[in-house]
Amino acid sequence: MDRPLRLPQQDRADFETELGRALAAPQVVAALRDSGDEARGVERLRRTARDNAEYVLAAAAPEYERYALLRADADAEARLPVAAPAGERASGWWGVLGVIVPIVAVAAAVVFLLLGYVLGLAEDTEVLGHALLGAGWVAAGVAAVSLLVGGLGLLGAASRAKAAPEEVSGPGELVQARDAWRSALAERGLVPFLVAQANAGRRA
């Protein structure tokens, strides 16, 4: 019975895939042919490679360590809560200044101006009416300024977001590290090991 591979579950499939490719490599096929055991030799070499997986994997240890480290970092980053980018937060504040504040200020201006004109018609409340009129015009000015500043801020944030370079995708580096490990596993580990085992069978 084959011993289970001492690899994480997600790496065992890669090992088996590279083992299958290595068994079909020209060097291994030629060594089996020379040994005269081409019929049963493939399964024998497959079992031998699995039983000596630790030795084979050691040939690609540097590549695997880098791949495992990048994968652990990616997994840890994936578990972190996603925060909104600074550009999005800035756009949100400009949106508040350019939309919410003008709406509130315009509503206040309308109320103050209406009350001011109404109260200004009566002599007893004429002073209060003038005060409300002044407050209404101030609110209208605030609405105009906030609308202008907020609109300019939104335009600036949009132009900066469009001009900002895209960040390099992390998973691309992880895929490259995985491919490098699999190549090293096949070229430095599996193929030389299988050829040596086939030649040993021929000498026996």
The three-state DSSP-derived secondary structure of 77-94 is HHHCCCCCCHHHHHHHHH
- Find the range with the poorest average confidence among 84-88, 136-140, 145-149, 197-201: 84-88
**Is residue 7 over pLDDT 90?**
no
Predicted pLDDT of residue 1: 40
Distance CA 151, CA 94 (A): 7
Share of the chain above pLDDT 70, in %: 73
- Find the range with the poorest average confidence among 12-21, 34-43, 93-102: 93-102
**Is residue 10 over pLDDT 90?**
no
**Is residue 3 over pLDDT 70?**
no
* Site of tokens 């069978």: 201
- The first and second tokens of residue 81, run together, are 């809560």
Which residue, 160, 140, 3, 171, is CA-closest to 77? Answer: 171
Q: What is the mean pLDDT of residues 154-162?
A: 65
